[in-house]
Structure 1
Amino acid sequence: MGINKTLQTTGFGGLPDVTEHSNIRRTLSRQNSISNSDSGGEIASIQKSKGFGSAMTGGVVVGSDIAGIALETKSPTSLATEAAATAGGSGKAKGKTTRKARNSSGAAHKTRRGSWMVALTLVSAICLLAIAATLAYQHFLMSPSRNSHAQRLRIVRRILREVPLVDGHNNFAWNVRKYAHSSLELVHLSHDLDHKSMWARPTWAQTDMERLKQGLVGVQRPYELKTILFIFFCFGFHCRSAYVPCEAQGLDAVQLALEQIDIVRRLSDMYARDTVLATSSQEIVATHRRGLLASLIGIEGGHTIGSSLGVLRSFYSLGARYLSLTHRCDVSWAGSSASPLEQGLSPFGKAIVREMNRLGMMIDLSHSSDATARDVLQVTRAPVIFSHSAARQLCNSTRNVPDDILRLVAENGGLIMLSFDPEDVACGRQARLQDVIEHIKYVRAIAGIQHIGLGAGYDGIEMPPMGLEDVSKYPELLAALLEDHNWSEEDVAMLAGRNFLRIMETVETVRDYWKRAAIQPIEQTEPQPKTQCTYMSS
């Protein structure tokens, strides 16, 4: 009955909303808290009353016993004598004695109460001084100084031992295909790839295992199927992107995407001592605790699914955990930011968003048109990401995000992962580390600290920023941010990876909620023209 009621909510034909789900959970949590609190109060009252009754009863019993003992030890003669002496006493003397005893008792009580108040005041003062001394010690002596670059780097290393470093975009897998023709025997990821000119262009070789470790990377996506496949290498975490060029649209795009996924999975097997192919936020955290790199697969370019929800589901089954809806070309159901047309989502595009919500697959809006981004943010029930974008207000790149959409992403609970590409952060000029920092600070000012992350785009950047030449340089960026007193250690931790993990967990929560609500996959199709390359049309 509860499920049927939930399915009557608006949007997606009555599909449940994660916001409503969160409210329900918070309400239940509050009710449980109130219930537990009331129960605890009742139990305490019962125990108190039981204790008070026992004490009273004990007093009566003990008093009766004492009286009994006194009566038994005294003879009848002595009892009669005492009674006569009492009867013959003066009533006035008796009254004076009683008043004197009462006055003496009251004075003693006041003295004792005054002593307790003094003692309590002293104890409180001592406690407050101890707390103040502890806080001062932690602040001035235990907390590392941030005055020098070396000290800030030590702080960054400590943060990244606790929080996986997540990079949302890396094109390593596409380079393996393009320059090594997918022959992994030519790839030596454990060495510096700059010295492997047999397959890699030196200017594009910015990723290898040693530099990933130097960069304290925890989650990265270094394999792109240009349709893009993201892997997160987790020392933190590295996102390997499966990228497929737009030129393959309508031809062999699906095949190329599958082959890129195959490269990612084989690389993970080859370096099983260092990496783990993760498929959930829990696996990322567990891998990080083991001191390994977590790889997460993502796909860049909606043309790789061939306008088929069945292919989308198959990619998810193979481990892909996000999809960039477009690349540098429109698809029939969504517009690209590189297109002169301002095309948004078609009905089939909305069906894809719905199916990704159901699967628990993150929606990536980098390369999407503004119209597509706004349409997605209106219909999605889960947070979205921009895997490698920056602020359009600072640099008018098509991949960058305008202020109004930055605010919409914050309302959605989503994430903007900052690109290092000079096209995005320096408008095509030679970029510097400071250019990246300016974009990070700007996006934070508009969207908030909880909605920013890192999406460098290494192995797809021909001229990386000075100071951020390869994947070993992430700590330099984070240490530079700590120079600003407005950036706390917690802020750096959120930027480095904590925000991404929160987004991924929320997407998984939507998936689990829809599964409990028995939301079924749909079989909607997008009409495709029949060509010589197709056996049958959709």
Structure 2
Amino acid sequence: MWISWWLWPLVAICAGDRFRDEAERIMRGTPVIDGHNDLPWQLLTRFNNQLQVEAANLTSLTHTHTNIPKLKAGFVGGQFWSAYTPCDTQNKDAVKRTLEQIDVIHRMCQMYPETFVCVTNSTGIRQAFQEGKIASLVGVEGGHSIDSSLGVLRTLYHLGMRYMTLTHSCNTPWADNWLVDTGEDKGESQGLSPFGQRVVKEMNRLGVIIDLAHVSVSTMKAALSLSKAPVLFSHSSAYSLCQHRRNVPDDVLQLVNQTGSLVMVNFYNDYVSCKKEATLSQVADHLDHIKKVAGAGAVGFGGDFDGVSRLPLGLEDVSKYPDLVAELLRRQWTEAEVRGVLANNLLRVFEAVERVSDHTQTPEEEPISLDKLQDSCRTNYGYSEAPSFHHQPGVLLASLTTVLLGLCLL
């Protein structure tokens, strides 16, 4: 049937409304679980973690991508809040700073119990959905937060951490970060050192999801090969569409497919378009590409809201998720695929991680060797007498020389 040219805009608007209405219908039953939001960092930098300051009220918070009304408008039903501390805290007060950010997440749940509920498992997420609350989970962003300590890793688990990003934008003494692939950092661990492998194994045992955002390609491949459970990229996009080293290349996406893992697409313009400007449609392109290479079960949302300075046109804050879902429907994603990207893919991965976990297994105990640690701000209790203590070759030679000289002088 012929339609006059001036009716086409009206037809497009009506079609757009149809997809948006359909998106909202689906999201009422399956809300968004987002993989990464840096609101706790905003609460630190703007209010020094003082949540009772009037301007910090999350029902009216301004100049952020996230507040309670925006979360509700965006049908967000689950959120991994980032407990983030910058790389310059490494070998200093990283553990203290991380504990403070975990505390902020817990206090958000305490101050706004009608909106947030802190949960630590997939069952808790599903229960929060039923109660109409936002399931709030702790994701620790950067392996430097454990200060190369398996004991700290276990302690953060007990405090609610359910994923840990193995590195941020710096190497740890046991894992290489993405800047190694740009040449800005030097690879030190060939992906994962022996201690890094123990960290991965202990995360599997505990039931902590391994997050590979921010790591080097060699670290990605090492972790994907070693982990007994699926892993995730909490906020990364597709390297084939934007050649930024924070993104995931196709050969790794194939490993994601083989391991049942998950890539939660980042909305930061620099990772979406490799330019200062980007659009919602370009974000959908990344979702399409990951779906094509790794499968529809490998795709999620990891917006990186409140952790980035530039966001795509149409995805300016957390309220815009229904518009992105409408775009996927417009691109003929099925309802099942949409429910997957919203929440079901993450729940599948989380449940698989929970099945692999086994707290009856003996914990990993062997510490990192002392020579791998910087000692400017740390003590070395336990190393000098421990059975597994390994002297550095130079130190051992010097010690033997001293002993022999002493014997000669007798």
Q: Is the aligned partner of 1:176 residue 2:30?
A: no
How far has the Cα of 1:243 moved from its partner? 0.5
1-structure distance, mates of 2:158, 2:229: 20
1:147 and 1:316 map into 2 onto residues whose CA distance is: 48
AA aligned opposite 1:216: F
What corresponds to 2:377 in structure 1?
533
Q: Which residue of 1 aligns with 2:231?
A: 384
Counterpart pick for 1:157 among 9, 17, 24: 24
* 1:530–1:244 Cα change, 3 Å: closer
Cross-structure match for 1:328: 169
1:188 to 42, 57, 60: 57
**Counterpart of 1:488?**
334
- Structure 2 equivalent of residue 497 of structure 1: 343
Cross-structure match for 1:414: 261
Write the distance in 2 (CA, Å) between the matches of 1:398 and 1:532: 31
Report the counterpart of residue 313 of structure 2 in structure 1.
466
The structure with more radius of gyration: 1
Query: 1:164, 1:285 within 8 Å by CA — same for their partners in 2?
Result: no
Deviation at 1:161, TM superposition (A): 2.1
Code of the residue aligned with 1:502 in structure 2: it is R
The one-letter amino acid paired with 1:488 is: T
Within 5 A, what are the aligned runs for 1:283-432? 283-339=124-180, 340=183, 341-342=186-187, 343-432=190-279
TM-superposed CA distance for 1:163, in Å, is: 1.6
Q: 1:386 to 1:532 in 2, by over 3 A?
A: closer
From 253, 276, 285, the equivalent of 2:117 is: 276
Structure with greater proportional helix content: 1
Who is 1:443 aligned against? 290
Report which stretch shifted further, 523-532 or 445-454.
523-532
Q: Is the CA contact (8 Å cut-off) linking 1:425 and 1:439 kept in structure 2?
A: yes
The alignment-based identity, stated in percent, is 42
Q: Deviations over 1:231-269 (max 9, x none)?
A: xxxxxx111000010001000000000000011111110
Letter paired with 2:139 = G
Match of 2:322 among 467, 470, 475: 475
Q: Secondary structure at the match of 1:388?
A: coil
Partner amino acid, structure 1, of 2:341: L
Tell me how far 1:147 sits from its aligned partner. 6.4
1:521 aligns with 2:363: yes
Q: Which residue pairs with 2:76 in the alignment? A: 217
Could you list the runs of 5+ residues in structure 2 that have no partner in the other structure? 1-12, 384-410
Cα shift at 1:319 = 0.5
Q: TM-score, normalised by structure 1?
A: 0.66
Distance 1:530 1:170, change over 3 A: closer
The Cα of 1:378 is off from its aligned counterpart by: 1.0
Any conservation in 1 of the 2:242–2:272 contact (CA below 8 Å)? yes
| 1:179 CA displacement | 1.2
Displacement of 1:154 after TM fit? 2.0
Q: Secondary structure at the match of 1:316?
A: helix
1:260-317 superposed Cα distances (whole Å, 9 cap, x missing partner): 0011111110001111001000010011111111101110000000000000000000
Contact residue 164 and residue 498 of structure 1 kept, 8 A: no
Check the 8 A contact 2:91/2:378 in 1, yes or no: no
Give the drift of 1:429.
Answer: 2.5
By relative contact order (CA 8 Å, sep 6+), the higher-ranking structure is 2
CA distance in 1, matches of 2:376, 2:218: 33
**Aligned-partner SS, 1:184:** coil
- What 5-or-longer segments of structure 1 have no aligned partner? 1-145, 195-201, 219-236
Please give the per-residue CA displacement for 1:389-427, whole angstroms capped at 9, x wherever unaligned: 011111111110010000001101100000000111010
Residue equivalent to 2:403: none
SS in 2 for 1:377: helix
* Cα pair 1:421 1:456 within 8 Å, conserved: yes
* TM-aligned CA deviation for residue 531 of structure 1: 2.8
For 1:41-190, what aligned pairs fall within 5 Å after superposition? Answer: 148-186=15-53, 187-190=56-59
Question: Residue 262 of structure 1 is aligned with which of 103, 116, 122?
Answer: 103
